[in-house]
Amino acid sequence: MGGKLKKALVFIMVLFIGINIFSDNVFAAIDKYPYIDARCAVAIDSKSKVVLYEKNAYELVPMASTTKIMTSLVAIKYGNLDKKVEISVRSAGIRGSTVGYKKGEKIKLRELLYGLMLRSGNDAAIAISEGVSGSVEEFVKLMNEYASGIGILNTHFETPHGLDKDEHYSTAYDLALVASKAKENKIFNDIVGSKDVDGEKNGFSRSYHNINKILWEIPQSNGVKTGYTGKAGKCLVTSAKFKENDIVMVVLNCPGRWKETKKIYDYVSKNYEFKKIFSKGKIALKLNVGKKQLKLKYGEDVVIPIDKRCKYTSKIIKPQKIVSTVKKGDNVGELYIYKDGKKIYNSPLKAGNAVKLGNKFILPFFH
């Protein structure tokens, strides 16, 4: 048996239903969710990725300049922010929203990111693409590869700026995940949270004023990106502080995007609170494997947003049989958390100790 196959067969999973209940206050569903005037909308906790509100959140739709969240994320990861990029004919001639860069200007990649995210510059998007990958086409390939690598599965990019194309689409949920990933980066946060940037003070070619009005509409907000095209309608991806976390909210094809986003934020603030349910390193389950015992521990602090009107339960996925050797720290099983019977969160369980078994046979466990 090959080494890779052995590793793949370390454990087989079956469902074990736990009895942990975090809240048993269940209220009637009347007025449970606000009406949001948008084709698609979602709100998630940026850390746990727990969905707090959704409306057509998984529908494939055009997303306009919210595309630029991924453009900036890829540029920060793969580009040299101090590199000067010469503005090309293609960049200077792009239609739609622009900063106004002129052909032949040389602008640092760092400054282009401010033009991209604060002014929604399509010219900045083209210049960034050419500066990082040599061409728009190669940069777009990198965008799609990076999206797949971080688990963004229902999105496809054809441009770095978001102007309407038939095969350029995403979902509200995917955009929330992209924004959550981007929010892990300090450079990104500094850019999208800026209201005004003094060009002279920062060594830029010009100053930048942020067109994202949500920074003024919701005091707790710290980004992220507006968007508008004929097909996509008015779009907005917002990040706002709630307790110690960021809540990411997305509205797509939403005529009153500022007001509707504020409604979502007010709804979350009124109905949710964060609770630490399990602590990293605490024992979740003990398994007897023959004469040996395997301790399964929580792999991380489990802190999730709790809707005070709902019932929460936990379940543990545990190995039915152990094959070969389990090392301390290996992922062995998972914790699932359910809200009113619907799974909202999962987290790996870790082996708290090593258990060495023979490679040629399977031992059942008993507990």
CB-count exposure of residue 105 (10 Å: 0-12, 13-18, 19+)? middle
Q: Which of 65, 88, 97, 133 is catalytic?
A: 65
Whether the Cβ atoms of residue 69 and residue 41 lie closer than 8 Å to each other: no
73, 174, 261 from 69: Cα distances, Å? 6, 12, 18
Strand, helix or coil for residue 264: helix
SS3 content of the chain, % helix, strand, coil (to 5): 30, 35, 35
Q: Among this protein's residues, is 65 annotated catalytic? A: yes
- 315 contacts 15 by C-beta, under 8 angstroms: yes
Structure tokens that stand for 262 in this block: 């504020």
Q: Which of 120, 133, 170, 239 is catalytic?
A: 120
Cα separations in angstroms, 300 against 293, 317, 341 = 22, 16, 23
Task: Please give the Cα distance from 102 to 195 (Å, whole number).
Answer: 24
Rounded to whole angstroms, how far apart are CA atoms 53 and 156? 24
How many CA atoms lie less than 13 Å away from 58 in the CB half-sphere? 2
E strand segments, the chain = 11-24, 40-45, 51-55, 84-86, 106-108, 196-197, 208-209, 221-229, 233-242, 245-252, 272-278, 283-289, 292-298, 302-307, 311-323, 331-339, 342-351, 362-366
How far apart are the C-alpha atoms of 117 and 364, rounded to whole Å? 56
Which single residue is written with the structure tokens 């002014």?
Answer: 119
Catalytic residue among 46, 48, 68, 129: 68
Q: Determine whether the annotation assigns residue 225 to a binding site.
A: yes
CA distance 68 to 226: 9
Residues marked as catalytic: 65, 68, 120
Extract the annotated binding site.
225
Extract the annotated binding site for substrate.
225
